[in-house]
Structure 1
Amino acid sequence: MSSLIDRLWYGKGRPLRFLAPLSWIYQAVAASRRRKAWEFRNEVVPVPVVVVGNITAGGTGKSPLTALLVTEFRAAGWRPVVLSRGYGGNSAQYPLLVDGHSDPAQAGDEPVMLARTTGVPVVVDPQRRRGAAWALKQGLGDILICDDGLQHYALPRDVEIAVFDGARGMGNGSVIPVGPLREPASRLSSVDFVVVNGGEFEAGSRIESFQGIEHPQIYTMALEPSSLTNLITGESRPLSDLEGQSVRAVAGIGNPGRFFDTLRGLGAVVEGVPFPDHHDFKAGDLEAENGQWIVMTAKDAVKCQGFASDNAWVFSVQARLAPEFIASLLARIRQRTEQIIS
Structure 2
Amino acid sequence: MSKIEQSWYKPFGLITLLLLPLSALFWVVSTFRKYLYSAKILKPFKCKTPIIVVGNISVGGNGKTPFVLWLYEHLTQQGLSVGIISRGYGGKADNYPLLVTGLVDAQQAGDEPVLLYHRLKCPIAVGPNREHNIDLLENNYKLDVIISDDGMQHYKMPRSIECCIVDSERRFGNGFAMPAGPLRETTKRLQSVDMVVENGGETDNSYVLQVSNLRLVNSNDYAKNHVSEAHAISAIGNPKRFENSLEARNIKLLSTHHFRDHYAYAADDFAQFGDDCIIMTEKDAVKCQSFAKPNWYYLPVDAQPTDNVINTLNLLLKEKGILNGL
> Shared fold by TM > 0.5?
yes
Deviates more, 1:7-16 or 1:302-311: 7-16
- The change in CA–CA distance for 1:261 and 1:187 in structure 2 (over 3 A counts) is same
Corresponding residue for residue 298 of structure 1:
282
Counterpart of 1:10 in structure 2: which amino acid?
Answer: Y
Corresponding residue for residue 81 of structure 1:
83
Tell me the percent identity: 36
Give 1:282 deviation, angstroms: 0.8
Corresponding residue for residue 124 of structure 1:
126
Residues 2-24 of structure 1: CA distance to partner in whole angstroms, max 9, x if unpaired? Answer: 5x445411122354123221011
1:171 and 2:181 are equivalent in the alignment = no
Counterpart of 1:72 in structure 2: which amino acid?
Answer: H
Corresponding residue for residue 58 of structure 2:
56
> Is the contact between residue 197 and residue 309 of structure 2 (CA under 8 Å) also seen in structure 1?
no
> Is the contact between residue 47 and residue 337 of structure 1 (CA under 8 Å) also seen in structure 2?
no
1:286 and 2:270 are equivalent in the alignment = yes
> Is the contact between residue 84 and residue 111 of structure 1 (CA under 8 Å) also seen in structure 2?
yes
Give 1:157 deviation, angstroms: 0.3
> Is the contact between residue 101 and residue 117 of structure 2 (CA under 8 Å) also seen in structure 1?
yes
Residues 168-221 of structure 1: CA distance to partner in whole angstroms, max 9, x if unpaired? Answer: 0011111111111111111111111111112xx32xx51xxxxxxxxxxxx111
Counterpart of 1:33 in structure 2: which amino acid?
Answer: R
Q: TM-score, normalised on structure 2?
A: 0.91
Corresponding residue for residue 28 of structure 2:
28
> Is the contact between residue 199 and residue 207 of structure 2 (CA under 8 Å) also seen in structure 1?
yes
Higher relative contact order (CA 8 A, sep 6+): 2
> Is the contact between residue 295 and residue 313 of structure 1 (CA under 8 Å) also seen in structure 2?
yes
Aligned counterpart for 1:151 among listed residues 147, 150, 153: 153
Corresponding residue for residue 332 of structure 1:
316
Unmatched segments (≥5 aa) in structure 2: none
Deviates more, 1:51-60 or 1:253-262: 253-262
SS of the equivalent of 2:287 reads coil
Corresponding residue for residue 256 of structure 1:
239
Q: Distance in 1 between matches of 2:176 and 2:99?
A: 37
Aligned counterpart for 2:302 among listed residues 318, 321, 324: 318
1:92 and 2:94 are equivalent in the alignment = yes
- The change in CA–CA distance for 1:160 and 1:41 in structure 2 (over 3 A counts) is farther
Corresponding residue for residue 276 of structure 1:
260
Counterpart of 2:25 in structure 1: which amino acid?
Answer: I
Unmatched segments (≥5 aa) in structure 1: 207-218
> Is the contact between residue 125 and residue 137 of structure 2 (CA under 8 Å) also seen in structure 1?
yes
> Is the contact between residue 101 and residue 112 of structure 1 (CA under 8 Å) also seen in structure 2?
no
Give 1:104 deviation, angstroms: 1.1
SS of the equivalent of 2:265 reads coil
- The change in CA–CA distance for 1:140 and 1:102 in structure 2 (over 3 A counts) is farther
> Is the contact between residue 14 and residue 179 of structure 1 (CA under 8 Å) also seen in structure 2?
no
Give 1:288 deviation, angstroms: 6.1
Corresponding residue for residue 209 of structure 1:
none
Deviates more, 1:68-77 or 1:307-316: 307-316
> Is the contact between residue 246 and residue 292 of structure 1 (CA under 8 Å) also seen in structure 2?
no
1:241 and 2:226 are equivalent in the alignment = yes
- The change in CA–CA distance for 1:129 and 1:36 in structure 2 (over 3 A counts) is farther
Aligned counterpart for 2:104 among listed residues 102, 105, 124: 102
Counterpart of 1:252 in structure 2: which amino acid?
Answer: A
Give 1:327 deviation, angstroms: 2.5
SS of the equivalent of 1:72 reads helix
Give 1:338 deviation, angstroms: 6.8
Q: TM-score, normalised on structure 1?
A: 0.87
Q: Distance in 2 between matches of 1:175 and 1:187?
A: 13
Counterpart of 2:9 in structure 1: which amino acid?
Answer: Y
Aligned counterpart for 1:187 among listed residues 186, 189, 204: 189
Deviates more, 1:256-265 or 1:269-278: 256-265
Give 1:46 deviation, angstroms: 2.2
> Is the contact between residue 50 and residue 157 of structure 1 (CA under 8 Å) also seen in structure 2?
yes
Residues 115-153 of structure 1: CA distance to partner in whole angstroms, max 9, x if unpaired? Answer: 111221111021112211221122252211000111111
Aligned residues: 319
Q: Distance in 2 between matches of 1:14 and 1:134?
A: 46
> Is the contact between residue 232 and residue 309 of structure 1 (CA under 8 Å) also seen in structure 2?
yes
SS of the equivalent of 1:223 reads strand
Aligned counterpart for 2:215 among listed residues 216, 222, 229: 229
> Is the contact between residue 4 and residue 180 of structure 2 (CA under 8 Å) also seen in structure 1?
no
Give 1:99 deviation, angstroms: 2.4
> Is the contact between residue 44 and residue 155 of structure 2 (CA under 8 Å) also seen in structure 1?
no
> Is the contact between residue 81 and residue 140 of structure 1 (CA under 8 Å) also seen in structure 2?
no
Corresponding residue for residue 13 of structure 1:
12
Counterpart of 2:27 in structure 1: which amino acid?
Answer: Q
> Is the contact between residue 136 and residue 142 of structure 1 (CA under 8 Å) also seen in structure 2?
no
